[in-house]
Amino acid sequence: AQSVTQLGSHVSVSEGALVLLRCNYSSSVPPYLFWYVQYPNQGLQLLLKYTSAATLVKGINGFEAEFKKSETSFHLTKPSAHMSDAAEYFCAAVRSGTYKYIFGTGTRLKVLA
């Protein structure tokens, strides 16, 4: 069965430091992959998505993610963290031809001043 694993339920970084949030998927067929961000008391909004056009995907707010098939990974990065990046981040996958999006359990990012 397809699954999405996010390593680290909580990640803390200093303001200005690199942000790295990890996501691995488990699927015999590479799925389409997404990163969503959720700010407190809000719904999820799309940061970026991978749909096989390019392995390095750029998203909003300076985030990007790289699809690595050999590692079944889709890690999210940002070169320099900002206080406004503090939120919960979800990785999600969906196989082409299905309706079922599978979400990871989320990583809460804390940015330290």
Partner 1 sequence: DVKVTQSSRYLVKRTGEKVFLECVQDMDHENMFWYRQDPGLGLRLIYFSYDVKMKEKGDIPEGYSVSREKKERFSLILESASTNQTSMYLCASSEGGKNTGELFFGEGSRLTVL
Residues that bind partner 1 (CB under 8 A): 9, 32, 34, 36, 41-46, 49, 51, 90, 92, 94, 96-101, 103-106
Longest dimension (CA), the chain: 44
* CA neighbor of 49 nearest in space, from 41, 59, 37: 59
**By C-beta, is 10 or 82 nearer to partner 1?**
10
| Sequence-distant (≥ 6) Cβ neighbours of residue 79 within 8 angstroms | 18, 62
Toward partner 1, which CB reaches closer, 18 or 60? Answer: 60
For partner 1, give the closer residue by CB, 74 or 104: 104
